[in-house]
A = this chain, B = another copy of it.
Amino acid sequence: MDFLSDFLTLFLGKLQSPTMGFLIGGMVVAAVNSELQIPDAIYKFIVFMLLIKVGLSGGIAIRNANLTEMLLPGLFAVVTGILIVFIGRYTLAKLPKVRVVDAIATAGLFGAVSGSTLAAALTLLESEGVKYEAWAAALYPFMDIPALVTAIVLASVYTSKQRDNALESLSKQEYLSKQRVTAGGYPNQRRIERRITASGYPKDPRDTAGARVRIWPIIQESLQGSALSALLLGLALGLLTRPESVYESFFNPLFRGLLSILMLVMGMEATTRLGELRKVGQWYALYSFVAPLLHGFIAFGLGMIAHITTGFSLGGVVILATIAASSSDISGPPTLRAGIPSANPSAYIGSSTAVGTPVALALGIPLFIGLAQALGG
């Protein structure tokens, strides 16, 4: 009882934090059709500033860290990233009226990580005085990349199978149609047309075997995305140079303020995308609401194992849970658009931006921190 009431008090207090306030403010501003806008150049620069700051502090921390400490949390990050995609594959994709490739792409985006959500969690942890390993932010790519790779692989496997099935039934029809061709006379064109409709790929079906998904380009593309690039650049600069002076005088002091503005933009974006979500239906809304919390609690549980066995901090557990709960908003969509071209972007982007991210921010993070505080005593 005491635990529960403690937890609820902590949870409610968090909703009044400026971070959440700006998020909700942004939603309201967009809902009343205000003309208020943050220019795109400013938005991109703010994201860069936040991620390079997160990277810098991570890099400075790793410089002085015991690398063996990072092994178990890193492994759990990879496991969670892959698991999230499989969960989506066997829940969302099985629901009626949901196209399988759309569902896989959505699950991939929910497995990938949002730098902004991560930044919000770091701010809240600091303002609550919960300690965490600064290198914990560097878990980001260990969940992000495996999730995107898994999603693209699963989608390719599925598409290949569909194609094979289509081919098989095609062969039967072909056999029948050949009988009839003697009467008619344009078999070739008909066959090609049918193949296109069945598989979405106009190329020769015998290529199937050769169409293995190449994993390296997906990883490379993830690393080249602007979000991961900024994070890794910060990490590298933190590790290899002495950026403390510029970190303390510039990147760190501006962090909170820039984050509040980013939250405003994300709130505005969430409202604007609600329409897109409506188009793809209720199942996506349900998934996007449940998934961040479910994924977060799975990662929280894994993090607790690391907490008990290797002394991973409770703040670190919250960070692991947050990156599991978050869904990618900047770097993920272009990778998926290239990797699963047959998926409908409205489905995954709408789900992530309109529901997934607000839920992770406004429910997930306060929940995880409240839980950590209640557990930590």
A226/B256 in contact, CB under 8 A: no
A246/B257 in contact, CB under 8 A: yes
A245 adjacent to chain B (CB < 8 Å): yes
A38 adjacent to chain B (CB < 8 Å): yes
B41/A230 in contact, CB under 8 A: no
A35 in complex: contacting residue of B224, B242, B246, B257, CB < 8 Å: B224
A48/B36 in contact, CB under 8 A: yes
- Which of A1-9, A12-20, A358-366 has 4 or more CB atoms under 8 Å from chain B? A12-20
* Chain B residues, Cβ within 8 Å of A253: 249-250
Do most interface residues of chain A lie in helix, strand or loop, or is the interface mixed? helix
Alpha-carbon separation in the docked complex, A41 to B37 (Å): 10
A45 in complex: contacting residue of B17, B39, B334, CB < 8 Å: B39
* Chain B residues, Cβ within 8 Å of A11: none
A127 adjacent to chain B (CB < 8 Å): yes
B48/A233 in contact, CB under 8 A: no
A250: nearest chain-B partner, CB-CB: B257
- Which of A25-33, A65-73, A309-317, A340-348 has 4 or more CB atoms under 8 Å from chain B? A25-33
A48/B38 in contact, CB under 8 A: yes
Alpha-carbon separation in the docked complex, A37 to B229 (Å): 10
A256/B260 in contact, CB under 8 A: no
Alpha-carbon separation in the docked complex, A237 to B264 (Å): 11
15 A-B residue contacts at CB 8 Å?
A18-B241, A18-B247, A22-B237, A28-B233, A34-B226, A35-B224, A36-B48, A36-B226, A39-B44, A41-B42, A127-B245, A233-B264, A243-B260, A246-B256, A250-B260
On A, residues with C-beta under 8 Å from B are: 16-18, 20-22, 25, 28-29, 32-42, 44-45, 48, 127, 223-226, 229-230, 233, 236-237, 240-243, 245-247, 249-251, 253-254, 256-258, 260, 264, 334
Q: Which 3 A-B pairs have the closest CB atoms?
A: A250-B257, A21-B241, A39-B41
